[in-house]
Amino acid sequence: MLRFRSYFRTVRSVCSFRFLSSQSNVERSRYPGSRSRFSCVIDECRPPAIHPDEGVSVFRILSSEGRVIDSNQDPNIPDEKLLNMYETMVVLNVADNILYESQRQGRISFYMTAYGEEATVIGSTAAIDANDLIYGQYREAGALLFRGYTLSEMMNQCYGNHLDSAKGRQMPIHYGAHHLNFQTISSPLATQMPQAPGAAYAFKRERSGQCVMCYFGDGAASEGDAHAAFNFAATLDCPVIFFCRNNGYAISTPTSEQYRGDGIVSRGPGYGIESVRVDGNDLLAVYSVTRMARKICVKENRPFLIEAMTYRIGHHSTSDDSSAYRSSDDVKFWDKQDHPISRAYNYLVSKGIWSESRDTELRQTKKKLVMEAFREAEAQPKPPIEELFRDVYDNMPSHIETQLNEIRQHVAKYPNQYPTNFSK
């Protein structure tokens, strides 16, 4: 960890020294927007357009087989915490399988899996403090599970029953948990991004020692809100970590059609944001860079951008059929040859703290627990229709009360068309 941070500083210092030593007698601009040197050579005034094949390197600690490449880079996460991280990855994978199939059976309306991206969210969540605020996009259920979100809470939300904390008013997978410092998911893409630096700025003013984690995808980075978020965070010196899950696709649009530059990490310097690119399938590497980023955010009150390179093994959602726009061979490769759970499993076995028998037992136990929570949530009644009209105004205004009475009359007129608990 220290060597990684030291390398960052060394490269930056060497580059700065070489530039200043060779340009010390050159006249510099006095324009407010730039203090760089003047030049009579036009090519010196054109920043390079970096091709993705020649861009920023991808930091990794584990090989694709789960072997530590450089022991000095191993973050040496305590065994108990490491096992918790792995178990959370497994239970998320099990829950994804069951809930995806339940949607296919018509038991819930919608679902999105995190297949192949488990290490990005769980590795990064484990690296920040429990009181740090998280803004998710929609594939961050693992963050909630790691922080203690129960399987029952997860299932109640997906079924939208009367035990759902959102009272059935959100689509499935739009989780939120105030007690776990996790902002409720919002469907419109990238809306969480400009909100995150606002919350981080509040933490800065309060001197609370907290930071904000903001997850988003490579597709969301193409939204205008991403620009506003980066610029606000940089100019206001906000302690926020922008964590991009670059999984290769924005629904059906591949990254090759989204940008011509070097991914998302290359955008950080343009906003004055320190940035790093990491192997998102490497649990240890994700953990290490996120710890570094949080330290910078909190101690220096500065934003940090992390681009985690990964691959979306599942369909974008249950509304998508990815076989229409990508090869099944590519999906099989990432699923069988370079899966983040397999990498983490091999690492744990090499440390002597895990085994095949324990892994089998874990999966069986977690599947049983997920199925129990699933059945209990499915059996629960839906929230009363009145909940649609509450929690907007402190005191319900007359026009809303009129609408509530109208729907009560409608339900009373057609009782056989609605559940018996539909109206109080």
Task: Please pick, among 39, 109, 187, 327, the residue that the annotation labels catalytic.
Answer: 187
Kindly state whether residue 51 falls inside one of the protein's structural domains. Answer: no
Catalytic status, residue 101: yes
Kindly state whether residue 50 falls inside one of the protein's structural domains. Answer: no
Do 369 and 389 belong together in one domain? no
Task: Please pick, among 101, 257, 361, 372, the residue that the annotation labels catalytic.
Answer: 101
DSSP summary character for residue 406: H
Do 244 and 391 belong together in one domain? no
CATH of the domain at 304: 3.40.50.970
Do 16 and 99 belong together in one domain? no
Kindly state whether residue 423 falls inside one of the protein's structural domains. Answer: no
> pLDDT tens string for the chain (424 positions)?
545 554 454 444 433 333 444 445 678 767 666 677 876 676 767 677 666 667 889 999 999 999 999 999 999 999 999 999 999 999 999 999 999 999 999 999 999 999 999 999 999 999 999 999 999 999 999 999 999 999 999 999 999 999 999 999 999 999 999 999 999 999 999 999 999 999 999 999 999 999 999 999 999 999 999 999 999 999 999 999 999 999 999 999 999 899 888 899 999 999 999 999 999 999 999 999 999 999 999 999 999 999 999 999 999 999 999 999 999 999 999 999 999 999 999 999 999 999 999 999 999 999 999 999 999 999 999 998 889 899 989 999 999 999 999 999 998 899 888 876 665 5
Q: What is the DSSP string of 98-156?
A: HHHHHHHTTSSS-----TT-HHHHHHHHTTS-TTSEEE--SS-HHHHHHHT--HHHHHH
Catalytic status, residue 317: yes
Kindly state whether residue 397 falls inside one of the protein's structural domains. Answer: yes
Of 233, 244, 218, residue with least CA distance to 296:
233
Q: What is the DSSP string of 251-269?
A: TTEEGGGT-SSSTTGGGHH
Helix (H) or strand (E) holding 306: strand 304-309
Beta strands (DSSP E) in 187-281 are 212-217, 240-246, 249-250, 253-254, 274-279
Kindly state whether residue 265 falls inside one of the protein's structural domains. Answer: yes
Task: Please pick, among 165, 186, 222, 317, the residue that the annotation labels catalytic.
Answer: 317
Do 86 and 173 belong together in one domain? yes
Of 116, 123, 115, 144, residue with least CA distance to 241:
123
Kindly state whether residue 84 falls inside one of the protein's structural domains. Answer: yes
Q: What is the pTM of this model?
A: 0.89
Do 17 and 135 belong together in one domain? no
Domain membership of residue 6 as a residue range: 2-45
Do 235 and 102 belong together in one domain? yes
Burial code of 337-364, b = ≥16 C-beta within 10 A, e = fewer?
ebbbbbbbbbbbeeeeebeeeebeebee
Catalytic status, residue 29: no
Catalytic status, residue 323: no
Please tell me the predicted confidence (pLDDT) of residue 41: 75
Do 8 and 83 belong together in one domain? no
DSSP summary character for residue 184: P
Q: Which residue has the tokens 């178990």?
A: 87
Helix (H) or strand (E) holding 304: strand 304-309
Please tell me the predicted confidence (pLDDT) of residue 14: 36
Domain count, the chain: 3
Residue 172 carries which side chain, given as an amino acid letter? Answer: P
Task: Please pick, among 124, 316, 322, 339, the residue that the annotation labels catalytic.
Answer: 316
Please tell me the predicted confidence (pLDDT) of residue 52: 63
Do 89 and 124 belong together in one domain? yes
Kindly state whether residue 424 falls inside one of the protein's structural domains. Answer: no
Do 340 and 413 belong together in one domain? no
Contact 284, 77 (CB under 8 A): yes
Do 171 and 309 belong together in one domain? yes
How many angstroms separate the CA atoms of 66 and 81, rounded? 18
Do 161 and 63 belong together in one domain? yes
